Structure 1
Amino acid sequence: MLVTGKEILQKAHEEGYAVGAFNTSNLEMTRAIIEAAEEEKSPVIIQTSQSAITYAGSEEIAMIVRQLAEKASVPVALHLDHGTDWDVVMKCLRDGWTSVMFDGSKYEFEQNIDITKQVIAIAHPMGVTVEAELGKIGGVEDHVKVDAKDATMTDPAEAVEFVEKTGVDYLAIAIGTAHGVYKGDPELDFDRLKDIKSRLNMPIVLHGASGVAEEDIKKAVSLGVNKINIDTDLRQAFQRAMHKVVKEKPDVYDPRKMLQPTSEAVKEVVKTKIRMFGSNDRV
Structure 2
Amino acid sequence: MTIATPERYAQMLDAARRGGYAYPAINVTSTQTLNAALQGFAEADSDGIIQVSVGGASYFSGRRVNDRVVGSLAFAAFAHEVASRYPHISIALHTDHCAKQYLDSWVIPLLVREAEQVAHGEEPAFQSHMWDGSTVPLDENLDIASKLLERSAAAHTVLEIEIGAVGGEEDGHRAGIDAKLYSTPADGLEVARRLGLGERGPYMAAFTFGNVHGAYKPGVVKLRPELLGEIQHEVADAVKDGLLESGSRDGNTAISDNNGHLPNTPDPADFPENKPFALVFHGGSGSSREDIAKAVSYGVVKMNIDTDTQYAFTRAIAGHMFRHYDSVLKVDGEVGEKKFYDPRSWGREGEDAMAKRVVEACVELGSAGKALK
TM tier relative to shorter chain: over 0.9
The question of whether the paired residues in 2 share the 8 Å contact of 1:28 and 1:263 is answered with yes
1:83 positional shift? 1.1
Q: Distance in 1 between the 2:17 and 2:173 partners?
A: 27
| Alignment-mate amino acid for residue 64 of structure 1 | F
Q: In the alignment, which residue of structure 1 is the partner of 2:45?
A: 41
Match of 1:107 among 136, 147, 167: 136
- Correspondence 1:193 to 2:228: yes
The alignment covers a number of residue pairs equal to 283
| Alignment-mate amino acid for residue 211 of structure 1 | G
How large is the RMSD of aligned CA atoms in angstroms?
Answer: 1.7
- Correspondence 1:253 to 2:268: no
1:150 positional shift? 7.2
1:2 positional shift? 1.6
Q: In the alignment, which residue of structure 2 is the partner of 1:64?
A: 78
Q: TM-score, normalised by structure 2?
A: 0.72
The question of whether the paired residues in 2 share the 8 Å contact of 1:19 and 1:274 is answered with yes
Q: Distance in 2 between the 1:103 and 1:92 partners?
A: 16
Name which of structure 1's ranges 62-71 and 13-22 shifts more when overlaid on structure 2. Answer: 62-71
| Alignment-mate amino acid for residue 59 of structure 1 | L
Considering fraction of residues, name the structure with more helix: 1
- Correspondence 1:217 to 2:251: no
1:228 positional shift? 0.6
- Correspondence 1:27 to 2:31: yes
Name which of structure 1's ranges 122-131 and 86-95 shifts more when overlaid on structure 2. Answer: 86-95
The residue matched to 2:222 in structure 1 has which SS? coil
The question of whether the paired residues in 2 share the 8 Å contact of 1:13 and 1:202 is answered with no
Q: In the alignment, which residue of structure 2 is the partner of 1:80?
A: 95
Larger radius of gyration: 2
Match of 1:275 among 363, 366, 371: 363
| Alignment-mate amino acid for residue 217 of structure 1 | I
The question of whether the paired residues in 1 share the 8 Å contact of 2:127 and 2:158 is answered with yes
| Alignment-mate amino acid for residue 51 of structure 1 | G
1:3-46, Cα deviation, whole Å (9 max, x unpaired): 24544222211111111101001111111111211222211000
Q: Distance in 2 between the 1:223 and 1:121 partners?
A: 27
Considering fraction of residues, name the structure with more strand: 1
Match of 1:170 among 178, 192, 204: 204
Change over 3 Å in CA distance of 1:69–1:212 after alignment to 2: same
For structure 2, the 5+ residue unaligned runs are 61-70, 115-124, 197-201, 236-274, 328-339
1:65-102, Cα deviation, whole Å (9 max, x unpaired): 22223443211100011011212112333372210001
- Correspondence 1:52 to 2:67: no
- Correspondence 1:155 to 2:184: yes
Q: In the alignment, which residue of structure 2 is the partner of 1:92?
A: 110
1:60 positional shift? 1.6
1:201-221, Cα deviation, whole Å (9 max, x unpaired): 221111011111122212221
The question of whether the paired residues in 2 share the 8 Å contact of 1:197 and 1:204 is answered with no
The residue matched to 2:356 in structure 1 has which SS? helix
1:142 positional shift? 1.5
Q: In the alignment, which residue of structure 2 is the partner of 1:243?
A: 318
Q: Distance in 1 between the 2:21 and 2:356 partners?
A: 20
| Alignment-mate amino acid for residue 79 of structure 1 | H
| Alignment-mate amino acid for residue 280 of structure 2 | V
The residue matched to 1:178 in structure 2 has which SS? coil
The residue matched to 2:18 in structure 1 has which SS? helix
The residue matched to 1:179 in structure 2 has which SS? coil
1:105-155, Cα deviation, whole Å (9 max, x unpaired): 211111111111111111111111110000111011213321224743111
The question of whether the paired residues in 1 share the 8 Å contact of 2:129 and 2:159 is answered with yes
The question of whether the paired residues in 2 share the 8 Å contact of 1:10 and 1:202 is answered with no
| Alignment-mate amino acid for residue 176 of structure 1 | G
Q: Distance in 2 between the 1:131 and 1:162 partners?
A: 12
Q: Distance in 2 between the 1:120 and 1:71 partners?
A: 32
